Amino acid sequence: NAGVTQTPKFRVLKTGQSMTLLCAQDMNHEYMYWYRQDPGMGLRLIHYSVGEGTTAKGEVPDGYNVSRLKKQNFLLGLESAAPSQTSVYFCASSKRQATYEQYFGPGTRLTVT
């Protein structure tokens, strides 16, 4: 099993550009999450999904959109990137019955200039 994978690993964007981060998991987990991690701020939840076709806002959703068309995939979109969105983005997944144990992807390091 590959676990949780993220594409791409690194990306540099100019302000105003758009992009989509892809997360895939092969563990048949119901729940999936997108976090951003900034120095000294820990992990902050952007959006999450409790199942295929469902999404919900987390702590810091502004400027991001998500979609969960297939159970194994969770996409994070930035429609108009801003320098404040420079961060490391982590995707995670968990079983519905065990949300306390999340499996994280390797992360995407995004820089917006």
Partner 1 sequence: GQSLEQPSEVTAVEGAIVQINCTYQTSGFYGLSWYQQHDGGAPTFLSYNALDGLEETGRFSSFLSRSDSYGYLLLQELQMKDSASYFCAVSPSSGGSYIPTFGRGTSLIVHP
Report the interface residues with partner 1, using CB under 8 A: 31, 33, 40-45, 48, 50, 58-59, 90, 92, 96, 99-107
4 and 103 in contact (C-beta within 8 Å)? Answer: yes
Rounded Cα distance between 58 and 76, Å, is 13
The smaller minimum CB distance to partner 1, of residues 3 and 16, is found at 3
* Nearest residue to 37 via CA among 107, 105, 111, 112: 107
Residue 10 CB neighbours (<10 A): 9
The smaller minimum CB distance to partner 1, of residues 37 and 65, is found at 37
Please state the closest distance from residue 103 (CB atom) to partner 1, in A. 7
The smaller minimum CB distance to partner 1, of residues 22 and 45, is found at 45
Please state the closest distance from residue 41 (CB atom) to partner 1, in A. 6
